[in-house]
Structure 1
Amino acid sequence: MISFLIVIVLVLGVNTILWTTAGGIRLIAAGIRRNRYAYEHARSEAPTRDQVAILIAAHNEEVVIGHTIGSLESFGHNINVFVVSDGSTDDTAAIARAHGATVLELSPNRGKAGALVEAIKQFEIAERFEVLLLLDADTHLTADYFETGLGEFADPTVVAVAGRASTLFNPRSPTFFGRLLVAYRERVYIAMQYLFKFGQAGRYANVVPIVPGFASMYRTSILSEIDIAAQGLKIEDYNMTFEVHAKRLGRIAFHPNAAIALTQDPDTLVDYVKQVERWNLGFWQTVGRHRFQMRFFWLSLSLFILELVLSSVVLILLLPAVMLSTGASVATDVGLDPSGTAADLAALLPPLALVLAVVLPDYVLTLLAAVVAKKPVYLVYGVFFPFFRVVDALLCMVALFEAMFSRSTGSWKSPSRRAARPDAAAGAAPVPEHAPAPVMASSSAT
């Protein structure tokens, strides 16, 4: 029983309990103030849409870039779209221009961070605009993205708004495995953003560890203070977020019902592994770059890292532990355990209890995802999700090892993209396939 409870705590984690509780307190406080979102009481003080520069860094994104820019057209003519084509060898730049974007072409490939720095400089974004929206080439904003997200800047202490990631299901993956993989990623988004980020973004916490680069906003007044293209990092968004905390630039806002964007997730194991490895490596490299400070953010981060490593080790060792325990039980049953050691081992690590200690709390996360996403099919898919948890654990530990002994050049290659269906309206701002549900009290780059 004790080993069962220990495994559950390691799989779910103290962080889940801590930040879910903090999120619940935020909801109660908002209810008392009769103010559902922070942006509802001061919208008039927030930046307007024409004060936002939308910047897309792209490398060989001809399959999706046109549809992404086209989806912005329904927001009106007062939007400002900039594209930096970083060493693209396809028609990315031409397609972006054809859809009305202002385009900068770079050669050779500088990496996403280097491309962003150059684009911000060449387009004079900090001088011309109040807010910078970083948007990925495969990401679509929901119809209320600006209304909800810009409102957060009504608080003058807020310097960044972390977008909420949701999975873009159009086009649908053609394979069952691909649909499993995409559904699992959506579950990760829901769990991390509903159970962690909302609590972490509280005014007196302010420990959000990442402002994801797929669709998030920064006040341009702080861009000169952030080392966007720090050397030796695989990705830029973790480092940009850590810079905000390290230099005490201000608060990072996040709400599950604000600044929502839909992104295309990998539907093959090869692309999934490459993407998660890139995110994990970027995280560990950023942790190694920044020195620990005796402040709440770093204390919270240390607790998260401790649990992340412990839970990853538990998940990786689960199968060997079950096999060892099962073998010990068999040896005891057939009388091959005269010393009683095998019996003690089987009692200490009962196979069924080990499996249930991982599967049950994992399925609770699936139930949450099914409710929030309004997709009952997740209850079936959830049977397969523990396999992906183990894959994530392996990738996390491999990336940790790699971060200790390697540095990255920042060069990048986009994953395989699924072309949008011809019947999808290119000029219409997409809306989620499920309406965002209220935050519920109930991991990676979100």
Structure 2
Amino acid sequence: MTLAIMLVVVFCTIGLSTMVWGIAALCRLAAQGRADTRLLSPSMYYRRDEVAVLIAAHNEQLVIAEAVRAARALVPASHVFVVSDGSSDETVARAREAGAVAWDLSPNRGKAGAIRAGLAHFRIPERFPLLLLLDADSRPRPDYLRTGLPLFTDQDVVAVAGRATTSADAATRGMGLVLTSYRERTYVCTQYLHKFGQAARVADAVAIVPGFASMYRTDVLDRIDIDAPGLSIEDFNMTFEVHAKRLGRIAFHPACAVAETQDPAIFRDYSAQMRRWSLGFWQTVRRHGPRVGLFWASVGALAVETVVSSLVLTLMVPALVIAAVAAVASTMLSGFAAEVAGTVATVLPVGPLAAAFLVADAAMTAFVCIVTATRPRVWMLLYPLLRVWDAVLCLRALVAALGRPSDGRWRSPDRRAALSPAST
């Protein structure tokens, strides 16, 4: 019984999908290690001057200039477009000062609506074969296109999912440090242990082309319902649309198309962002429903696993408290009360329960430390609590997704003024 409980906790903490796609990623890595010599070679189809960069922004005056400068390091300045979605600050002025072609869109339509409007206003599909969607707080690295464009060498590829990493100017103390380092752990685990395996040619099961810094072929954009009503975010839905309409493959490699993003350093903003991401996933799953195919089977399995894991992790803290109280009570009480406490302590053994949860979580942290060549830090001991909080937010978002639809409008988190590369 104890072993069974421990295994359930381990599987819910790490995730069966993580194990399956992690194995697929290892197989893909082994295969590429033998044969793929084209990874960083110039694309035989696209050049940097054929790429447009579109940034949808709302009250992003603190970070928009650095995003524009990072984009201008990749493409000509005339190819960088900013849609200010009903901003009440100096987003437009800062974008223009940094060299972008900026448009003040009013009233506020939300990110998806701003993207759709920007595509039409700047006539991007007519002028450019490729589009890089970039968030205002994201900065693609200088080799973003050099490594990302070769992934389009396969003519079946219609989108390249960018690889997210926490920006170099992340918080360095307090709760901000814990939140940003935990988010980086999430990025590494999901991108190396999920997305890399899902992007294998035989699978083609990437669940999200993140809107923070990813590329699309513009000839498929008119077939993607970018601003579908009722959704809080657009990137899950755009990805599901690619699969549902069989527009082509989605490519991803953790060494390619890397961009830094400014993650929330305030707990309120972190919680709001996690809830919004989870809500977007559940709304998209509800919108598209079950279908036939490997991608849809993978999404269905992930949805079921996410619900079960979130329930188990949400109950983890009260279960540990009850188990600890029962263990103590069984030694201090007598008679029937001691017997009941002993039964509870046997069913919920506090030691094995805590060990299974903490060791499984620590294994994920160790994996990230190895991949990123970083040393374990004491604040990483707080990661299990954040994992539990993620589970709570996920379940709340699931309930919300079953209720009234979202209007897609946004509130930007508190930003930190972006540091220039030299300052960083």
TM-score range, shorter chain: over 0.9
Give the structure 2 partner of residue 8 of structure 1.
Answer: 10
* Offset of residue 334 of structure 1: 2.4
Give the structure 2 partner of residue 298 of structure 1.
Answer: 296
State the distance in 2 between where 1:307 and 1:127 align. Answer: 42
* Offset of residue 358 of structure 1: 1.0
* Offset of residue 127 of structure 1: 0.8
Question: % of aligned pairs identical?
Answer: 47
State the distance in 2 between where 1:214 and 1:424 align. Answer: 19
2:25 to 20, 23, 31: 23
Give the structure 1 partner of residue 155 of structure 2.
Answer: 156
Map 1:122-201 → 2, pairs under 5 A? 122-170=121-169, 172-173=170-171, 175-201=173-199
Give the structure 2 partner of residue 107 of structure 1.
Answer: 106
State the distance in 1 between where 2:356 and 2:413 align. Answer: 34
Map 1:213-292 → 2, pairs under 5 A? 213-292=211-290
Paired AA for residue 33 in structure 2: G
* Offset of residue 44 of structure 1: 4.2
Q: Is the 8 A contact 1:50 1:79 kept in 2?
A: no
SS of the residue aligned with 1:384?
Answer: helix
Paired AA for residue 99 in structure 2: G
Paired AA for residue 251 in structure 2: A
* Offset of residue 317 of structure 1: 0.5
Q: Is the 8 A contact 2:53 2:71 kept in 1?
A: no
SS of the residue aligned with 1:5?
Answer: helix
Q: Which piece of structure 1 moves more, 234-243 or 301-310?
A: 301-310
Q: Is the 8 A contact 2:49 2:75 kept in 1?
A: no
TM-score calculated relative to the size of structure 1: 0.91
2:34 to 32, 35, 38: 32
Q: Is the 8 A contact 1:178 1:267 kept in 2?
A: yes
State the distance in 2 between where 1:20 and 1:26 align. Answer: 10
RMSD: 1.7
Paired AA for residue 343 in structure 1: G
State the distance in 2 between where 1:227 and 1:85 align. Answer: 21
> What do the CA deviations read for 1:395-444 (whole angstroms, capped 9, x no partner)?
000000011112111111111110134x6448xxx8xxxxxxxxxxxxxx
Q: Is the 8 A contact 2:39 2:150 kept in 1?
A: yes
SS of the residue aligned with 1:54?
Answer: strand
State the distance in 2 between where 1:414 and 1:205 align. Answer: 35
> What do the CA deviations read for 1:29-83 (whole angstroms, capped 9, x no partner)?
11232x15x6346x34231111111000000111011122123343363761000
Q: Which piece of structure 1 moves more, 9-18 or 216-225?
A: 9-18
Q: Is the 8 A contact 1:201 1:254 kept in 2?
A: yes
State the distance in 1 between where 2:335 and 2:283 align. Answer: 48
Paired AA for residue 223 in structure 1: L
State the distance in 1 between where 2:167 and 2:378 align. Answer: 20
1:407 to 405, 408, 413: 405
Map 1:33-52 → 2, pairs under 5 A? 33=35, 35=36, 39-40=39-40, 43-52=42-51
* Offset of residue 343 of structure 1: 2.0
Q: Is the 8 A contact 2:162 2:258 kept in 1?
A: yes
**Structure 2 alignment gaps of length 5 or more:** none
Paired AA for residue 115 in structure 1: A
Q: Is the 8 A contact 1:49 1:79 kept in 2?
A: no
Paired AA for residue 39 in structure 2: Y
Q: Which piece of structure 1 moves more, 229-238 or 346-355?
A: 346-355
Q: Is the 8 A contact 2:159 2:209 kept in 1?
A: yes
Give the structure 2 partner of residue 80 of structure 1.
Answer: 79
| Residues 350 and 214 (structure 1), Cα distance of their counterparts in 2 relative to 1, 3 Å cut | same
* Offset of residue 345 of structure 1: 2.2
| Residues 372 and 337 (structure 1), Cα distance of their counterparts in 2 relative to 1, 3 Å cut | farther
State the distance in 2 between where 1:310 and 1:86 align. Answer: 38
Paired AA for residue 317 in structure 1: L
State the distance in 2 between where 1:424 and 1:327 align. Answer: 52
State the distance in 1 between where 2:43 and 2:359 align. Answer: 47
Give the structure 1 partner of residue 329 of structure 2.
Answer: 331
> What do the CA deviations read for 1:327-364 (whole angstroms, capped 9, x no partner)?
22223212435383432321221111111111111111
State the distance in 2 between where 1:228 and 1:208 align. Answer: 18
* Offset of residue 174 of structure 1: 5.7
> Is 1:308 aligned with 2:306?
yes
Paired AA for residue 6 in structure 1: V
* Offset of residue 237 of structure 1: 0.4
Determine which structure has greater relative contact order: mean sequence separation of CA pairs < 8 Å that are 6+ residues apart, divided by chain length.
1
Give the structure 1 partner of residue 352 of structure 2.
Answer: 353
Q: Which piece of structure 1 moves more, 207-216 or 97-106?
A: 97-106
SS of the residue aligned with 1:205?
Answer: coil
State the distance in 1 between where 2:32 and 2:352 align. Answer: 40
Q: Is the 8 A contact 2:56 2:115 kept in 1?
A: yes
Q: Is the 8 A contact 2:161 2:214 kept in 1?
A: yes
State the distance in 1 between where 2:378 and 2:45 align. Answer: 43
TM-score calculated relative to the size of structure 2: 0.95
Q: Is the 8 A contact 1:20 1:195 kept in 2?
A: yes
Give the structure 1 partner of residue 374 of structure 2.
Answer: 375
